[in-house]
Amino acid sequence: MRRKVLAQSQVHPVSKLVAAVEDDGMSGYLYVAKTGKTKRNLEFLWIYNRGKTPTDDEAIAKGANQHWAAWKGCAGPDARCPEPEKSAWTFLWSDDGEAVALAQDGKLVCYLDGEHECFCRHLIDEFQWCMPWEEEAYRRVVDAIRPATAFDRKADRLTPKAIKSGNCHLELEPLPPEADPLRFGRAKREEKRVLADHVKHPIWVSAHDDRHDEEWYKPIVSTTDVSEQVIEFDVPIITVKLAGTDLVGTAYYWAEGDAISDVLLWVDRRWRRLVELPKVKYPAVLVSMPAIRGDDDVRFRVKKRGDDGGGRIRPAAGR
């Protein structure tokens, strides 16, 4: 079934982001997209299942492009929503347009913040980067709703007037950057990471500790810049795009040499080494999706076939 838009917000005047509830007949997702000449999805998170909660194998077998129903062990008892078209959906944006909460018939169901963290009240365990909405995080959003009278705390939902008008927003107080340490998402084994993981979070580092062996990695969720703080923590894996194509993949970034290595690209739903792809033209240019030490659109040149990485391309003098 083709995805159907059930509700869509206005374009936020500051961030130029737009949010929408989309349904594919199996499940519903909140999408947040960047507007402009082309619409580009930046974030998405699961909201509900239409039918009965599937097993993980059933959900993956029916899913497409990582757009799956939440399975048993992740979906909570209220995850099913057989008739979402009959619901009233309300979007509550932060003033800077970098965070949005979604209410269904006045009940807050999910939240996505500017740090690319997301919570859903219909989850009991992590699902596709989204976490269960714990009480402390939930109350922080409730306390940020303005006007305060838009939320009925006794009923634990938006008032009918707020639902009808949609005239409510979030007044969140962000932490100052210098007080915000690196924060990490849930670790994954190397073979479990897929392209969507690295598009969602473009910087990953080793998760090796007392609970995880060397094959586990975790995303950095508090920044999309390979800063000195990131570099000091570990050699990061960054998301890269092969210039002139739609191919996206990963590479290790080595700060000391300002270079990348071990380039992998996602082709036909699996990881392929750059050197294994015969149609790639050389010299090949890889564009970093995260900023590198504050610089956007950083590019690296792989000079010849057989090389698995290369150095940063520096602008010519005077440019």
**Between residues 85 and 183, the one the model is more confident about:** 85
Start-to-end C-alpha separation, the chain: 50
The span from the CA of 283 to the CA of 307, in Å, is 10
pLDDT for 50-70, tens place per residue?
A: 988 888 777 666 654 445 788
Q: Given this model, what pLDDT does residue 36 score?
A: 64
Q: What percent of the chain has pLDDT over 70?
A: 88
Q: Given this model, what pLDDT does residue 65 score?
A: 44
pLDDT at 318 > cutoff 60? no
pLDDT for 267-309, tens place per residue?
A: 999 999 998 999 999 999 999 999 999 999 999 999 999 998 9
pLDDT for 70-80, tens place per residue?
A: 888 889 999 99
The span from the CA of 21 to the CA of 126, in Å, is 20
DSSP-based three-state secondary structure for 285: strand
pLDDT for 138-162, tens place per residue?
A: 998 999 999 999 999 999 999 999 9
pLDDT at 179 > cutoff 70? no
Q: Given this model, what pLDDT does residue 64 score?
A: 43
Q: What average pLDDT does this structure show over 36-53?
A: 76
From 79-83, 143-147, 176-180, 245-249, the region with the lowest mean pLDDT: 176-180
Number of Cβ within 10 Å of residue 231's Cβ equals 16
Backbone φ and ψ of 275, nearest 5°: -70, -15
The span from the CA of 30 to the CA of 190, in Å, is 27
Q: Given this model, what pLDDT does residue 180 score?
A: 57
Q: What average pLDDT does this structure show over 83-101?
A: 94
Q: Which residues contact 223 (CB under 8 A, 6 or more apart)?
A: 182, 203, 229, 230
pLDDT for 187-237, tens place per residue?
A: 788 888 899 999 989 999 998 865 467 888 989 988 899 999 999 999 999
| Structure letter (DSSP) for residue 125 | S
Total-model pTM:
0.59
Q: What average pLDDT does this structure show over 111-131?
A: 80
From 19-33, 41-55, 222-236, the region with the lowest mean pLDDT: 41-55
